[in-house]
Amino acid sequence: MDSVDRRKFLGLVGNAGAVTLASGLIADRADASESSKREDNAHSFGCLVDTTQCVGCRSCEEACNMVNELPKPETSFNDMTVLDEMRRPDASAYTVVNRYYPNPPNVHNELEPVFVKVQCMHCNDPACVSACIVGAMEKTKEGPIIYDPAKCIGCRYCMVACPFQIPAYEYHNSLTPEVRKCNFCFEKYTSTGEWPACARACPREAIVFGTREELLVLARKRIRKHPGRYVNKIFGENEIGGTSWMYLASTDFAKIGFEDMRCEPVPVLSETLQHSVFKYFLPPLALYAVLAVAMFLNKPTPDEEDETESQDAEVKNVHK
């Protein structure tokens, strides 16, 4: 292959690359504008979980199990030994409570437990919704993220995408496996503005239901009123672009099972890239046009065979 033709081939590669590269750059710059365009979630429904109030009674787990008609667990909800292990929500439990001992023993040489309820965070900018290939994950206008098994093809990309690692899968169901996660009791309660089952069941009012705006006001008020009781942070206010479920805590969130999350929503980059590549199909069409022109301009030349020979001759010379 002569240098001209190598250059041409590289031209092709360069072109395809440039398209992707350019879109990458656009994406980087478009981040800011894109996220500000994203909906403001002040009126989405959410919950504030006050971990300083939670006593780990598992009433929320039980209520969730009942309202969603989930399979009965092996041991009853009164069995507190399950708290000895770290658990994650799974296909048969949309929410679980975990126990942590974030601090060293107190003056009485006792460890003080902190309990944390885990469920879907109902993100403002949900990765699962952005990822889903068929729109089976949907963000309702009220805020809750719900799932439609009739659309789902079971690709499990939502599970790969979710930064909180929430969606679980019915791996042992061979015919109609579903993605399972907290649905915020949307159909039953929250679509009409009623409290979800777990929040109602809580004997300590550790879970408060309301709009995101109201909850943020409430949370700030609590932090202001009892500065000794809370760290000055509302988990979920900004994490991953903000979530509908938010948490208050008395201690560093990293010590009670929360990942340190960045503020930018995770779907921004892929969505911007996708939209710039497919904006009026311009980049693909441009690549098509370039290739078509290349195809018709690069007429086969009759002296091509000689090239091979001269090359082989060159090789022979080298080997002599």
Partner 1 sequence: MSISSTISEHPVDVHNNHEEEAVEVGVPFFTRGVWVLVALALIGFGFAMYRFLFGLGAVTNLTDQRGWGLWIGIDVATGVALAAGGFTTAALAHIFHRHRYHVITRPALLTALLGYTFVAIGLLVDLGRYYFIWHPILPYYWQGNSVLFEVGICVVFYLTVLYVEFLPIVFERFIGRVNLPGAFAKMNAFADWALRKLSGAVDKVLWIFIILGVVLSCLHQSSLGSLMLIAPTKLNPLWYSSLLPLLFLLSAIATGFPMVVVESMVAARSFKFKPEMHILSNLARMTPVLLGIYLVIKVGDLIYRNALVHVLKFDMAAWSFLGEMFIGVIIPFALLCSKSVRKSHTGLFWASFMIVFGVAWNRANVFIVGFTPPFETETYFPAIGEFAVTIGLISTLILCYRFAVNNFPVFPREIVEEARAAVSK
What beta strand segments (E) does 225-270 contain?
245-248
* 183, 211, 272, 276: which one binds ligand SF4 (CB under 6 A): 183
Q: List the Cα angle 152/160/121 in 5-degree steps.
A: 85
Examine residue 182 and tell whether it contacts ligand SF4 (CB under 6 A): yes
Which partner from the list partner 1, ligand SF4, none does 248 bind, CB cut-off 5 to 8 Å by kind? none
Q: How far are the Cα atoms of 38, 73, 166, 246, 280 from residue 65, in angstroms, in the given order?
A: 34, 9, 16, 22, 47
CB of 298 to partner 1, least distance (A): 5
Segment interacting with ligand SF4, rule: CB under 6 A, options 107-115, 118-126, 214-222, 231-239: 118-126
Which partner from the list ligand SF4, partner 1, none does 287 bind, CB cut-off 5 to 8 Å by kind? partner 1
Which partner from the list ligand SF4, partner 1, none does 19 bind, CB cut-off 5 to 8 Å by kind? partner 1
Which partner from the list partner 1, ligand SF4, none does 225 bind, CB cut-off 5 to 8 Å by kind? none
Which partner from the list ligand SF4, partner 1, none does 292 bind, CB cut-off 5 to 8 Å by kind? partner 1
Tokens of 237: 């206010």
Examine residue 94 and tell whether it contacts ligand SF4 (CB under 6 A): yes
Examine residue 46 and tell whether it contacts ligand SF4 (CB under 6 A): no
* 91, 96, 114, 120: which one binds ligand SF4 (CB under 6 A): 120
CB of 38 to partner 1, least distance (A): 12
Whichever of 27 and 234 has its CB closer to partner 1, that residue is 27
Site for ligand SF4 in 125-144 (CB under 6 A): 126-128, 131-134, 136-137
Report helix, strand or coil for 230: coil
Query: Are 181 and 94 contacting, i.e. CB atoms less than 8 angstroms apart?
Result: yes
Give the binding-site size for ligand SF4 (rule: CB under 6 A).
42
Examine residue 261 and tell whether it contacts ligand SF4 (CB under 6 A): no
Examine residue 156 and tell whether it contacts ligand SF4 (CB under 6 A): yes
Whichever of 110 and 303 has its CB closer to partner 1, that residue is 303
Which partner from the list partner 1, ligand SF4, none does 68 bind, CB cut-off 5 to 8 Å by kind? ligand SF4
- Helix boundaries (H) for the chain: 3-37, 59-67, 127-131, 157-161, 197-201, 212-225, 268-277, 282-297, 304-319
CB within 8 Å of 88: residues ≥ 6 apart: 96, 118, 165, 168
- Rounded distance, CA 295 to CA 313, Å? 30
* Closest of 164, 163, 138, 166 to residue 150, by C-alpha: 138
Tokens of 83: 């708290």
Which partner from the list ligand SF4, partner 1, none does 86 bind, CB cut-off 5 to 8 Å by kind? partner 1
Query: Are 47 and 245 contacting, i.e. CB atoms less than 8 angstroms apart?
Result: yes
